[in-house]
Every structure is written in structure tokens, then in C-alpha cells.
Amino acid sequence: MHASILARQIPRASVVAVADAFEDTAASVAAELQVAAMSVDELLASPQIDAIAICTPSPTHVELIIRAAEVGKAVFCEKPLSTDIGEVDRALAAVERSGTPFMVGFNRRFDPGHRSVQRAVQSGAVGDVQLARITSRDPALPPPGYVEGSGGIFVDMTIHDFDMARFVVGSPVVAVFATGAVLIDPAIGAAGDIDTAVVVLTHANGAITTIDNSRQAVYGYDQRVEVMGSKGMATSDNVAKDNGRLFTADGARGANLQHFFLERYRESFVNEWEAFIDYVADGGPSPVPGSAGRAPVVIGQAAWQSVREGRTITVEQG
């Protein structure tokens, strides 16, 4: 999907080559997009290539970031950079040494609705932020075996919401309380994870954010963001599949929520890649800098500690 958006919908980008651990996948995408299939070594060595987009499984991120940074390629990397803070720091240090452009793939920042919330805060329309709420519930369980390697819900799923909280409130996190339960799928519990979670974040500016997560909202992909302050409240509501409704003597009926992240966040991906390409081409501050990739991992680890200890955990650089 990412390669296709870059090739077809981002006029300033030109896809040179794709690489994949599965050669067949790489070959098939390359054929469809009429570009080359390369190995990672070839990609990194190619003088034609200015920027690398790392959309591989998380455990491979750090090494690829470091290698790309060392050869001076601009880097886009999907979240999480790593579930291990030490590893995150190793990658960010390499980026800093090389001075290469670097952006973390928190696509939800580029969703038009969520972004309108952040802009309302930034413009002052919301006033001093007091309360924020993020609801983030997946429409369906991940495939069996997925959670084992995921780092757990707070690093795998809530990490988006930790980033969103920092983004829309505009202030770092200083304290974390989390709780949760296995209410949906015992297999998730057997893997040491939880499927239902609530997190309360305290920000440096005093604002309090509440996050709730579920691995399975049968009514659709529930993605809402809200910030309330001294002057008002900005909200980003769910998106229905269509705007048809039926009114009868039994009440009103409407369509389901959009169900799939590619549908719900379609625009955010296009906007995200546009932001990356503009950043690589024109310079300026990173749209989502390395520090924004680090903080949610810190918060996620604190959330796990809070669940274990039943108390609020203080964090630095969250």
C-alpha cells in the first residue's frame, strides 16, 4: 500500500525500488509499480535513492535505521521504532550523528479530523487544555499468535494513542496510570497480554488524558479524539461507511462505522507521505521527529509497570 501511494498519489515522489524479505512479494510489487526489486544492500548502495521508507516488522527497525543513516539516506520508519528504549536510543543516536532527515510513521496525526483537533488547540481556540479523551478500539481481533511478538497492548496498540495524546494536548506526559483486563479473548490472556485497557496520563501542563482501548469493537473501528480546555472543546468523531439513514416507526437506522484501517485512515496515509516527501525535499523540522517515536515507548513501559503495581508511575521524557 505504501509503495503504491508513493508511486501514484505523491507527485513529488518517485519510487525507484522496493525490497522485501520475501523476494516474491518484492517482485510482484515491483512489477505492478514498474520499478526495480532490490536487496536491502542494493537499496542502501544505490546513488539514485535519496530516501528509505522502513515498513518492516518492528524488530528489524533499529538495524535498518542505523544502516540507512550511516549511508546518509533520509529515513521514514513505522512505529514502534523498538519496544526497547535502549534500542530506540541507539537508532536515534545514529540518526543524530548522520544528520539525516528522519520521520516516524504516526499516520493518525495526518487524519483530517484528528488534525483539526490539534489545530484547534494550537490556534488557542480551545484555551488552556484541561481534559483529553482518546477512544481507540480495533474492529476485530488480531490473528492468532500476533500478540506474542507485539510487546503487549500498550506498546503495540496504545502507542498510537500515547502519540496522539502528546500531539493534541501539546505537552509531554509526566505520570501514567493504567489498568486493564482480559474480557474478550482468553488466548490473549494466556499470552500474558490484556485485550481491554484504560490509561490516564497527566501532562506537564496539568491536563489529564484518558485513553480506552479494546481489541474488538464489533460495531466497527472506533477512533475518537477530544480535547477540552478553558475556551471550548474540539472533537474528532467516528466516520460511517455512508450517510444513508432509514426512519421508520421503530426509530432511525444508519450505516456501520468504517471497519478497516485502510478505509478509515486512507487520507491520513496520503497526507503522511506527502509530509515526508516535502520534508525530504524542502528541509525544515521533521513532521514527526525521533523524540516523538521515543516518548510513547517510555509511556508504554510505564503503563505496564502501573498495571503490575496498581499505582501512578512518574515518567521523564514521556
Which of the residues 155 through 174 are near its own copies (CB under 8 A)? none
In terms of Cα–Cα distance, which of 103, 97, 210 is closest to 161?
A: 210
Q: Does residue 40 interact with its own copies by CB under 8 A?
A: no
Q: Does residue 253 interact with its own copies by CB under 8 A?
A: yes
Q: Does residue 204 interact with its own copies by CB under 8 A?
A: no
Q: How far apart are the first and last CA of the chain?
A: 31
Q: Does residue 24 interact with its own copies by CB under 8 A?
A: no
Q: Is the dihedral of CA 135, 141, 143, 149 positive or negative?
A: positive
From 131, 141, 174, 187, residue interacting with its own copies (rule: CB under 8 A): 131
Q: Does residue 180 interact with its own copies by CB under 8 A?
A: yes
Nearer to its own copies, 187 or 228 (CB): 228
From 61, 67, 73, 114, residue interacting with its own copies (rule: CB under 8 A): 114
In the block, residue with C-alpha cell 532527515? 101
Nearer to its own copies, 85 or 233 (CB): 233
Nearer to its own copies, 137 or 166 (CB): 137
Q: Does residue 8 interact with its own copies by CB under 8 A?
A: yes
Taking the C-alpha atoms of residue 165 and residue 146, their distance in angstroms, rounded to an integer, is: 25
Taking the C-alpha atoms of residue 249 and residue 107, their distance in angstroms, rounded to an integer, is: 42
From 135, 146, 170, 174, residue interacting with its own copies (rule: CB under 8 A): 135
| Residue 249 host element (H or E) | none
Binding to its own copies, residues 76-105 (CB under 8 A): none
Q: What are phi and psi of 291, to 5 degrees?
A: -60, -30
Grid cell, residue 254, equals 444508519
Taking the C-alpha atoms of residue 185 and residue 6, their distance in angstroms, rounded to an integer, is: 37
Residue 46: strand, helix, or coil = coil
Q: Does residue 190 interact with its own copies by CB under 8 A?
A: no
Q: Does residue 37 interact with its own copies by CB under 8 A?
A: no
For residue 101, give Cα distances in angstroms to 47, 68, 98, 214, 294.
Answer: 17, 11, 9, 35, 16
Residue 9: strand, helix, or coil = helix
Q: Does residue 207 interact with its own copies by CB under 8 A?
A: yes
Q: Does residue 1 interact with its own copies by CB under 8 A?
A: no
Segment contacting its own copies by CB under 8 A, of 44-52, 80-88, 92-100, 236-244: 236-244
Segment contacting its own copies by CB under 8 A, of 92-100, 224-232, 278-286, 294-302: 224-232
CB neighbours of residue 155 within 10 Å: 23
Q: Does residue 198 interact with its own copies by CB under 8 A?
A: yes
Segment contacting its own copies by CB under 8 A, of 44-52, 66-74, 176-184, 295-303: 176-184
